[in-house]
Structure 1
Amino acid sequence: MNLKHLIDGIDIISYKGSLDKEILEITYDSRKCSKNCIYIARKGFQVDGHDYIPSAIKNGAICIICEKEIPILKEGITYIQVKDSKIAQAELAIRFYDHPSEKLKMIGITGTNGKTSISFLIGNILRQWGKKTGTIGTIGNYIGNSFYKANNTTPEAIDLQKFLSEMVKQKVDYGIMEVSSHSLALNRVRGVKYAIGIFTNLSQDHLDFHKTYEDYFQAKAKLFDMTYKANIINGDDPYGERLLRKLKDKEKVPTYSYGIKNNNCDFLAKDIQITHKGVSFILEGENLQEDFSIGIPGIFSVYNAMTAIIVALLEKVPISIIKEALEKTPAVPGRFEVINTHTPYSVIIDYAHTPDGLENVLKTIRSFAKNRIISVFGCGGNRDKTKRPIMGEIGGTYSDLCILTSDNPRNEDPLTIIQDILPGIQKTNCPYQVIENRKEAIKRALEMAQKDDVILIAGKGHETYQILKDKTISFDEKKIVKELLEQA
């Protein structure tokens, strides 16, 4: 593709060198540069891509896009200075991969909790309907049944557009995306065309990045400037109500609200029945009154199912197919996943790593637990520290025993993180133990468990690794539970 065509419309400050060049690849990683490649130098939080320009040129880059004014390092190289490299990267990627989101029906899901589960539910319904789906999210990326490893909930702009292009090549009908607040704030999804946008909720998370709830909310709200068919908003959530008012003022696309408590919502769940086996409810809306059920317990499952149902209804999926798909939905990996332990007690693994997420899961367990709840959890390092005592208080409030342990400590001392959690749990007078080694903490919970107890292992869910200060180690909690039980 010709460089002049690629950069058309990009906010350029200045350039040096020829624009008449054929470009074969674009990248933000100097190590991945190859012949006839554009290298995009970006300022990161820990490293500055401008420092790697010489390496990029050595590896074959013939064009450098950057924010700083760069001296000519080698003749024949084109240097293009832009105001914002991340925005330029997104716009270049869309052109280079030929606007793939416009050739798919994209569904974007944003919110603190529920994104992964909702994406799975929507995908199951659409596949039951005979459509081919592609999914991008926390657990990984899928095209049909093929799995592609992911490093972020929402990929970098170039990786995202490349993957969407692959969806187009493989004749995918629907692209289902978890859209993180980071990706919205950092312009990773800039220019993506979403048919439907979904807002689940907003609670404390990522304040290390966004600093305030207001910034966090405004980042999430950006998604709804990118939709063209419909918006679906949780009307029970205070920030959802605020978003509804904002979207109503714009009257850009039809917006539908859903809820359990707010009678002004377009769709309401009523006659909710929750057991340890799942939930059932009646969904009411305009010209609609239907009963649905799903084999995943918890009030959060009602919200997740409602969202997926509304998407399906907007896409004209027959109700009989929606019901069948929901009833056949398997457990989402690491989301309230009950492990088959063949023990007189139960073990549940869940990704809950926010105060709201942990509270929802523990409340659900409390609703059916016949004996004690033993919670094993910690908090991630290099992340929002203010949520740590809150997590401790929630764990202590809804558990009978807590074992505080390491999560993904990253560059922080695991025991320092635990010390931040302790004030919260100490307020509740709930018995607790501190076992920094996560495997040993899980082992201790299994050793202590009695008949009809429920052990919750929270925080990592689907993750099969643990991020330590100087390395990442294999850590699959499902396998670890099985191994510990076999050794007992």
Structure 2
Amino acid sequence: MKAQNPMSNNDSALAGTAQTLRPATVKEHTAQEIFTWLNDRGFDVELLSEENAPILGIAMDSREIQPGDLYVALPGAKVHGASFAKTAVEAGAAAILTNRAGLELCKDTSSQIGLLRTENLRGVVGPLSAEIYGSQPADGSAPTLFAVTGTNGKTTTTYMVNSIMQHLGHTTGLIGTIEILAGGASIPSKLTTPESTHVHSLISLMREQGITSMAMEVSSHALDYRRVDGVKYDVAGFTNLTQDHLDLHGTMENYCDSKAQLFTPDRTSRAVITADDQWGESMAQKAIDALGRENVVRLFTAHGNGYESLPELETFDWALTAVRRQGIGHSFEVVRGDGVRLKSSTQLPADFNVSNAALAAVMVYEAGIDSNALEAQLAETETLTPVVPGRMQLISTEPTAIVDFAHNPDALQRALEALDPAEEDGKVIVVFGATGERDQTKRPIMGEIAGRNADIVIVTDDDPHDEAPEPIRAEVEAGVQKANQDGARVQQILNIEPRSQAIARAIELAGPHDSILVAGRGHEVAQEVAGVDLELDDRVEVARSLQAQGYSVLPAYQAMVDEA
């Protein structure tokens, strides 16, 4: 039986947050029906208290409970979710699903509502969310679903996929680091990939709103914490694997294994793997082992110019070729082993954005999109030149000033390599720091990279979180000083806080032929220091400082300064 969700936010505009957005129409379930459904699929679930109140939604946070929800009470790092069972019931929960440890905590409320128990809560919640919200119906009415994972490039690639699909006539949705998009409406994101309860409700809501194609960033955290369980993507893509999140994964091998969970039969029908290095090749092999060779496409983007330099391609593998500088961007082709060619270009700066564009184009092709229509749209430069907030955002051209999210060694290296000025007397100036309470080993590495690739390095604060900022800057600066002692490019090293002053100083030191990179925070508009969010947008600070020095900024950033 279908029922109207009384708390849905289904209207022509996306409103609220990922936590409150629900489809308007859901299939009613009872605790008994959920018990039967889960056990029929091999989950070991026990029904302890049966009530006939209809279940109309699912939530993992007692603060998000809406009338008719199933409350999934999981153990947390400090407190078990079942401790908030009373709050959930008072908010209108129709049933509680918890584990043995949670049963004792919710005994005072268990007689009032349905109660189910399983020791596999994380394994159950994704598929159950898909069932409750009907996010991927068998009638084929679900949007075409794209997923992108990898260390760097996920955000830009999803925006590029969406841009291609929009030019092909689709209404698109997006779930990612920066925002959640449905058509033209946006809400900010808190996580790269939301919890599975939110993912499934959003997919179902987007289907109701006429979204026909949706792209998602899928992080290693999301895969490990099972936030995309129950989602079956049409095509999943892989960008690259470089050092990041080792505070969570420990080793690069573990990090690779975590990402590889996306390329399995229960999560995707087809995989496109950028196989430019040992980690790409490893990922491709893991995907082949799981999905079969016929469902895995390798993409080689490191070879660049000239067909003669391409690797030997199997029939359905692709390679990037004919890369040519075009303005601040590039034109390029991707060629398949059987001779199919796609010609395109992007005006997003940097070589790595050519790789991102190639991946996006191949992912859409491999989704079975009409190839003639795709070729026609890829021929237009704007198709692969979407505005991606905080990703190589060009603020001014004299000097060249760019704000980017680069916050790990590989991303910083690539961003700096893209900025070498065309004029011989041009300098590269970089402003960056390192995040607190994250992988500490990358701090001096990033410092060395900056020292090798920039003439002036200004070390400042990123998001210190609850870690003292001075030692973080010292670790980063130590890497810069080491590069300097080794005879690297850097000529001037500064350690400046707060970040706004570091940015202002970089602009003061810049001439019209110089290139300035402000790296690490990208689209973020608040800096977390000792638990306090301080208003700070690198794009606004760069534009404001440029104007203070008499330089012009692009019109969009003039408007940002005026609004700030």
TM-score interval (norm. to shorter): over 0.9
TM-score w.r.t. the length of structure 2 is 0.81
**Alpha-carbon distance in 2 for matches of 1:481, 1:15:** 58
Matching of residue 43 in structure 1 with residue 75 in structure 2: yes
User: 2:330–2:347: 8 Å Cα contact kept in structure 1?
Assistant: yes
Superposition deviation, residue 436 in structure 1: 2.4
Distance 1:272 1:46, change over 3 A: farther
Matching of residue 9 in structure 1 with residue 45 in structure 2: no
**Alpha-carbon distance in 1 for matches of 2:354, 2:71:** 46
Superposition deviation, residue 121 in structure 1: 1.1
Which of these residues, 395, 415, 420, is aligned with residue 366 of structure 1?
Answer: 420
Matching of residue 410 in structure 1 with residue 465 in structure 2: yes
Distance 1:229 1:456, change over 3 A: same
**Alpha-carbon distance in 2 for matches of 1:325, 1:4:** 55
**Alpha-carbon distance in 2 for matches of 1:60, 1:248:** 46
SS of aligned partner of 1:177:
strand
Matching of residue 224 in structure 1 with residue 271 in structure 2: no
For 1:483, the equivalent position in structure 2 comes to: 544
User: 1:378–1:404: 8 Å Cα contact kept in structure 2?
Assistant: yes
User: 1:128–1:325: 8 Å Cα contact kept in structure 2?
Assistant: no
Superposition deviation, residue 412 in structure 1: 0.9
Tell me which amino acid in the other structure corresponds to 1:378: G
For 2:103, the equivalent position in structure 1 comes to: 70
For 1:33, the equivalent position in structure 2 comes to: 65
Which of these residues, 295, 318, 332, is aligned with residue 254 of structure 1?
Answer: 295
Matching of residue 234 in structure 1 with residue 274 in structure 2: yes
Q: Stretches of 4+ moved more than 6 A in 1?
A: none
Which of these residues, 423, 437, 457, is aligned with residue 382 of structure 1?
Answer: 437
For 1:473, the equivalent position in structure 2 comes to: 534
For 1:288, the equivalent position in structure 2 comes to: 340
User: 2:73–2:80: 8 Å Cα contact kept in structure 1?
Assistant: yes
Alignment gaps of 5+ in structure 1: none
Superposition deviation, residue 227 in structure 1: 4.7
Which of these residues, 289, 296, 305, is aligned with residue 357 of structure 2?
Answer: 305
The aligned runs of 1:322-337 (5 Å cut-off) are: 322-324=378-380, 326=382, 329-337=385-393
Which of these residues, 432, 449, 454, is aligned with residue 515 of structure 2?
Answer: 454
Once the two structures are superposed, what CA deviation does each residue of 1:416-462 show, in whole Å capped at 9, x if it has no partner? 21122122111111331111211111111111112311110001111
Which of these residues, 354, 361, 366, is aligned with residue 408 of structure 2?
Answer: 354
For 2:321, the equivalent position in structure 1 comes to: 270
**Alpha-carbon distance in 1 for matches of 2:384, 2:280:** 30
For 2:165, the equivalent position in structure 1 comes to: 126
User: 1:142–1:148: 8 Å Cα contact kept in structure 2?
Assistant: yes
Alignment gaps of 5+ in structure 2: 1-27, 304-309, 485-489, 550-564
Superposition deviation, residue 325 in structure 1: 5.4
Matching of residue 438 in structure 1 with residue 499 in structure 2: yes
Superposition deviation, residue 486 in structure 1: 4.2
Once the two structures are superposed, what CA deviation does each residue of 1:162-211 show, in whole Å capped at 9, x if it has no partner? 11011110121111111111111100000101110101110011111122
Which of these residues, 119, 125, 130, is aligned with residue 83 of structure 1?
Answer: 119
For 1:93, the equivalent position in structure 2 comes to: 129
Once the two structures are superposed, what CA deviation does each residue of 1:275-333 show, in whole Å capped at 9, x if it has no partner? 65111223222222454221122221221111122123232242111221555624422
**Alpha-carbon distance in 1 for matches of 2:360, 2:454:** 31
User: 2:164–2:383: 8 Å Cα contact kept in structure 1?
Assistant: no
Q: CA RMSD in A?
A: 2.1
**Alpha-carbon distance in 2 for matches of 1:6, 1:425:** 58
**Alpha-carbon distance in 2 for matches of 1:145, 1:51:** 40
SS of aligned partner of 1:100:
coil
User: 1:275–1:368: 8 Å Cα contact kept in structure 2?
Assistant: no
For 1:23, the equivalent position in structure 2 comes to: 55
For 2:228, the equivalent position in structure 1 comes to: 189
For 1:175, the equivalent position in structure 2 comes to: 214
User: 1:196–1:227: 8 Å Cα contact kept in structure 2?
Assistant: no
User: 1:276–1:368: 8 Å Cα contact kept in structure 2?
Assistant: no
Which of these residues, 151, 158, 169, is aligned with residue 190 of structure 2?
Answer: 151
- Greater CA drift, 250-259 or 233-242: 250-259
For 1:57, the equivalent position in structure 2 comes to: 89
SS of aligned partner of 1:357:
helix
SS of aligned partner of 2:507:
helix
- Greater CA drift, 443-452 or 72-81: 72-81
Tell me which amino acid in the other structure corresponds to 1:270: T
**Alpha-carbon distance in 2 for matches of 1:247, 1:5:** 35
Once the two structures are superposed, what CA deviation does each residue of 1:199-237 show, in whole Å capped at 9, x if it has no partner? 111001111112221221111111111455421111213
Distance 1:148 1:359, change over 3 A: same
SS of aligned partner of 2:380:
helix
Which of these residues, 451, 456, 472, is aligned with residue 396 of structure 1?
Answer: 451
For 2:479, the equivalent position in structure 1 comes to: 424
Superposition deviation, residue 47 in structure 1: 4.6
User: 1:101–1:194: 8 Å Cα contact kept in structure 2?
Assistant: no
SS of aligned partner of 1:428:
helix
Tell me which amino acid in the other structure corresponds to 1:63: A
**Alpha-carbon distance in 1 for matches of 2:58, 2:167:** 37
For 2:284, the equivalent position in structure 1 comes to: 244
User: 1:40–1:89: 8 Å Cα contact kept in structure 2?
Assistant: yes
Distance 1:485 1:79, change over 3 A: same
Distance 1:328 1:12, change over 3 A: closer
- Aligned residues between the structures: 486
**Alpha-carbon distance in 1 for matches of 2:207, 2:516:** 43
- Greater CA drift, 284-293 or 134-143: 284-293
TM-score w.r.t. the length of structure 1 is 0.94
